[in-house]
Chain A
Amino acid sequence: MTAVGGVTQPRGATRWLLRANTWLVYGFFYAPIVLLVVFSFSGNRNVGVWGGFTLDWYRDFASDGNVQGALRNSIQIAVASTVVSVVLGTAAALALERFTFRGRQVFDALLYLPIIIPDVTMAVMMLLFFAQAAELLGFSKGFGTITLSHIAFNISFVSVVVRARLAGMDDRLEEAARDLYATRWQAFRHVTLPLIMPGVAGGALLAFTLSLDDVVITQFVTGPGWTTLPVYVFGLIRKGVTPLINAVSVVMLLASMALVALSLATQRVRGGQDAIDARVGPDQGLP
């Protein structure tokens, strides 16, 4: 591989230091994960004591009704909160990036709040809010309350990611679309949306992961029958840790890796199309 223009290879001691640092960082990142995966196959009930290879914990995971139910709950909540927060978060990002309106700066600042304030504070707020609302409107805690809470913090994350993408987009492109007879909606549909799609997809992925992940807020606003997987795992730890937790974690890890791979793959498909276009010479016409 040739060096990219202007980039020089480090030499001597610098080179070895950089290399050592790289391995240190990798070790720091991945050693716990490797350990987790290894011990999920351990035959000993005590986490951290190797007891020979076994698939029992995965079998437990597959047959445990509680775990299955919690996983189902988690996925339902994650899907619902992701869909809603992607729509609302993208709309908020568009409003803040493309329009000036009264109260814009206040809205901008408020939008960051859920990212900044501690989870516990948010959880208590939500609990209080739902307690009041439940009295007034008479609903019980469960899917609705958890999903609403997750939407509340996910909107912020989605809008931050989408805004970053929008800020990098030339707003003349929308003007060009409008000049070429597109209505506002058509300009959004055919020009803006395809161009911010990587941001929207990234935001969706982040929202999905955060929702799957959340323990603190969920634990405060959950109701009977709506235990999510992380809350369930948290509960298991209190009863005593078994490698079942490892197995559950490994499955969650694989699921999130699959999600990331999926989003990368969709972007690769676009890149691949560009490469194909590049290879089509000027002599080749249309299909």
Chain B
Amino acid sequence: MTAAVEITGVSKRFGDVVAVDDIDLRIDDGEFFALLGPSGCGKTTTLRMIAGLDFPTTGSLKIFGHEVGTLPPNKRPVNTVFQNYALFPHMNVLDNVAFGLRMQGTDKATARSAATAAIGLVRLDGMERRRPAQLSGGQQQRVALARALVNEPKVLLLDEPLGALDLKLRQEMQGELKSLQRELGVSFVFVTHDQEEALTMSDRIAVMDEGRLLQIGTPEEIYERPVNRFVADFIGQTNLLEGTVEDGATVCLVNGARVAARSDLTAGTRIALSIRPERATIHHRDHGTGPDAGSAVDGEVVAVTYLGNALVHRVKLDWMEIEVREANDPDRPRFAVGDPVTVAWDPSAAALVADR
């Protein structure tokens, strides 16, 4: 199958700044794909290159098999939902949505009826005559969506489309975007710095940092098996226990404790063990409930946070502090600040990540 978007060896330099550094990326047709990373990581530049708003310095960029490297944006079968929407303030909703079709030479009546249908698709019926300034943020977002979708793009690009919305509206729009994408079967390429948003919505995620692509995978792969420290830390919360590989089954932590961790890395490689707070359990040390010493560390509770549905314990180890999050279960023992405890985990729940 031809990829919707195929990026090979693409770099983008602005003067001396390397915004995107030699990335390879393949986005399948019908996929909900997220470009995730902190601001300045190159995700927006990557999106703009797909849109044609920036051209790659080197490398090849194909849309459905056609090389589009330096094709202007008006000659590409993609449309963009811009950050802050970029709606035309001097046009009403109907003319905004009909703009793309009009520019392609569609006659006014046909363009208007298609625009009206698209406005219906995003559930803004009756708003056709409003100006963008007379709409709420959520409504503007929908207009931007309709304005792009009315052109039936082969790939829809979205640049932090939900960034300007408040939490409740954002969650609502996440669901709507996702179902819209399923309904249309078009690939959505979605830029976000919000890891939770990327996890909830995407089929696959590409994590970027400093212009480089660090990892591509399903949300589960990215969360469960991050390739390095940065990815582990950026996606969700995690505890990173530094150490060195001792052999194929053991890691020596910085305090000298040996814990079980499978890897095929050579002995002596510096790594970090990523343990998610919800994957660790906490036990009273003196009760000797006996968690396997091969996947446990001793410490002392320094803070307890009650979250209603969960309890978060901060535990001070000899060399660092870690967090343990447990469901609020009345049958579980309670811990107080100062209690000596053992924090344990299932060896399979600890991911070995490159220490960089």
B89 pairs with A277, CB closer than 8 A:
no
CB contacts (< 8 Å) of B82 on chain A: these are 172, 175-176, 179
A285 to B82: give the CA distance in the assembly, Å. 27
A282 pairs with B127, CB closer than 8 A:
yes
B53 pairs with A181, CB closer than 8 A:
no
B73 pairs with A283, CB closer than 8 A:
no
Could you give, for residues 160-183 of chain A, a 1 whenever the CB lies within 8 Å of some chain B CB and a 0 otherwise?
A: 000000000010110111111111
B94 pairs with A285, CB closer than 8 A:
no
Partner of A277, one of B99, B131, B148: B131
A78 to chain B, nearest CB (A): 29
A183 pairs with B126, CB closer than 8 A:
no
Could you give, for residues 87-125 of chain B, a 1 whenever the CB lies within 8 Å of some chain A CB and a 0 otherwise?
A: 111101010000110011000000010001000000000
Give the size of the chain A interface in residues (CB under 8 angstroms).
Answer: 27
B130 pairs with A173, CB closer than 8 A:
no
B73 pairs with A175, CB closer than 8 A:
yes
B80 interface residue (CB < 8 Å to A): yes
A201 interface residue (CB < 8 Å to B): no
Chain A 174-215 interface residues, beta-carbon cutoff 8 Å to B: 175-183, 186, 190-191, 194-195
Q: Which 4 A-B pairs have the closest CB atoms?
A: A180-B100, A282-B126, A176-B86, A181-B103
CB contacts (< 8 Å) of B78 on chain A: these are 179
A91 to B127: give the CA distance in the assembly, Å. 36
CB contacts (< 8 Å) of B129 on chain A: these are 277, 280, 284, 286
Given contacts A170-B86, A283-B126, A285-B128, whether A179 and B79 have CB atoms under 8 Å apart is yes
CB contacts (< 8 Å) of B130 on chain A: these are 277-278, 280
Query: Which residue numbers of A lie inside 8 Å of B, CB to CB?
Result: 170, 172-173, 175-183, 186, 190-191, 194-195, 274, 277-278, 280-286
Query: Which residue numbers of B lie inside 8 Å of A, CB to CB?
Result: 51-53, 72-74, 78-80, 82-84, 86-90, 92, 94, 99-100, 103-104, 112, 116, 126-131, 133-134, 147-148, 151
> A-B pairs with CB below 8 Å: how many?
87
A179 to B86: give the CA distance in the assembly, Å. 11
Q: Which of B84, B99, B129, B134 has the most CB of A within 10 A?
A: B129
Given contacts A172-B82, A178-B53, A180-B151, whether A195 and B90 have CB atoms under 8 Å apart is yes
A282 to B130: give the CA distance in the assembly, Å. 9
B86 pairs with A182, CB closer than 8 A:
no
CB contacts (< 8 Å) of B72 on chain A: these are 178
A182 pairs with B128, CB closer than 8 A:
no
| B104, closest chain A residue (CB) | A181
A191 pairs with B151, CB closer than 8 A:
no
| B127, closest chain A residue (CB) | A282
| A171, closest chain B residue (CB) | B86
A190 to B96: give the CA distance in the assembly, Å. 11
CB contacts (< 8 Å) of A194 on chain B: these are 90
A182 to B73: give the CA distance in the assembly, Å. 9
A191 to B72: give the CA distance in the assembly, Å. 18
| A172, closest chain B residue (CB) | B86
Q: Which of A172, A176, A179, A277 has the most CB of B within 10 A?
A: A179
A183 to chain B, nearest CB (A): 6
B87 to chain A, nearest CB (A): 8
B92 pairs with A177, CB closer than 8 A:
no
Q: Would you mind naming 30 contact pairs between A and B with Cβ atoms under 8 Å apart?
A: A172-B83, A172-B84, A173-B89, A175-B53, A175-B86, A176-B80, A176-B82, A176-B87, A176-B88, A177-B99, A177-B103, A178-B72, A179-B78, A180-B74, A180-B100, A180-B147, A182-B74, A186-B103, A190-B103, A194-B90, A195-B89, A274-B131, A277-B134, A278-B131, A281-B126, A285-B126, A285-B128, A286-B112, A286-B116, A286-B128
B134 pairs with A278, CB closer than 8 A:
yes
